[in-house]
Structure 1
Amino acid sequence: MQLRTQAIVLSVRAHGEHGAVVRCLTPADGAQPGYVRGGHSRALRPILQPANSVVGEWRARTDDALAALTVELVHSRAPLHAEPLAAAALTWATALTAAALPDGQPYPRLYAALDGVIAAIEAAPGARGWAAALVRYELLMLAELGFGLDLDRCVVSGSADDLAFVSPKSGGGVSRVAAAGYEARLLRYPAFLRGKASGGGAADWDDILDGLAMTGHFMARDLLHGRAAEVLAARERLVEKLKRAIS
Structure 2
Amino acid sequence: MHLRAPAIIVAIRPHGESGAIVRALTAEAGLLAGYVRGGRSRQHRPVLQPGNMILGDWRARTEDQLPALVAELVHSRAPLFREPLPAAAIDWATALTAAALPEGQPYPPLHSALEGLLDAIEAAPAARGWAVAMVRYELLLLALLGFGLDLDQCAATGATEDLAFVSPKSGMAVSAAAATGYEARLFRLPPFLRQGGAAEWDDIRDGLRLTGHFLDRDLLHGKAAEVLAARGRLVDRINRAVA
The residue identity in structure 2 corresponding to 1:19 is G
Offset of 1:178 from its aligned partner?
0.3
The residue identity in structure 1 corresponding to 2:76 is S
Match of 1:160 in 2: 160
Query: Are positions 1:218 and 2:214 aligned together?
Result: yes
Identity %: 67
- Distance of 1:134 and 1:235 partners within structure 2: 11
Match of 1:117 in 2: 117
Match of 1:94 in 2: 94
Runs of 4+ in 1 over 2 A off after TM superposition: none
Give the TM-score of the pair, scaled to structure 1: 0.98
Offset of 1:55 from its aligned partner?
0.2
Give the counterpart of 1:236 among 213, 229, 232: 232
Give the TM-score of the pair, scaled to structure 2: 0.99
Match of 2:108 in 1: 108
Q: How does 1:26-41 map to 2 (within 5 A)?
A: 26-41=26-41
**What RMSD over aligned residues (CA atoms) do the two structures have, in Å?**
0.5
The residue identity in structure 1 corresponding to 2:79 is P
The residue identity in structure 2 corresponding to 1:168 is P
Offset of 1:229 from its aligned partner?
1.6
Offset of 1:228 from its aligned partner?
2.8
- Distance of 1:234 and 1:155 partners within structure 2: 32
CA deviation map 1:94-113 (0-9, x unaligned):
00000000110000000000
Number of equivalenced pairs: 243
The residue identity in structure 1 corresponding to 2:230 is A
**Secondary structure at 1:128's aligned position in 2?**
helix
The residue identity in structure 1 corresponding to 2:201 is W
Offset of 1:227 from its aligned partner?
1.4
Q: How does 1:67-78 map to 2 (within 5 A)?
A: 67-78=67-78
The residue identity in structure 2 corresponding to 1:242 is I
Offset of 1:175 from its aligned partner?
0.3
Match of 1:129 in 2: 129
Query: Are positions 1:25 and 2:21 aligned together?
Result: no
The residue identity in structure 1 corresponding to 2:209 is A
- Distance of 2:109 and 2:95 partners within structure 1: 17
- Distance of 1:173 and 1:228 partners within structure 2: 30
- Distance of 2:73 and 2:189 partners within structure 1: 40
- Distance of 1:229 and 1:61 partners within structure 2: 35
* Structure 1: tracts of 5 or more residues without a match: none
- Distance of 2:15 and 2:219 partners within structure 1: 27
Offset of 1:202 from its aligned partner?
1.5
The residue identity in structure 1 corresponding to 2:190 is P
- Distance of 2:70 and 2:162 partners within structure 1: 52
Offset of 1:38 from its aligned partner?
0.3
- Distance of 2:64 and 2:199 partners within structure 1: 45
Query: Are positions 1:246 and 2:242 aligned together?
Result: yes
Match of 2:51 in 1: 51
- Distance of 1:189 and 1:83 partners within structure 2: 30
The residue identity in structure 2 corresponding to 1:66 is L
CA deviation map 1:43-68 (0-9, x unaligned):
00110000000000000011111000
Offset of 1:9 from its aligned partner?
0.4
- Distance of 1:89 and 1:13 partners within structure 2: 19
Offset of 1:91 from its aligned partner?
0.1
Give the counterpart of 1:209 among 195, 205, 209: 205
The residue identity in structure 2 corresponding to 1:221 is R
- Distance of 2:101 and 2:61 partners within structure 1: 24
- Distance of 1:63 and 1:209 partners within structure 2: 44
- Distance of 2:225 and 2:179 partners within structure 1: 32
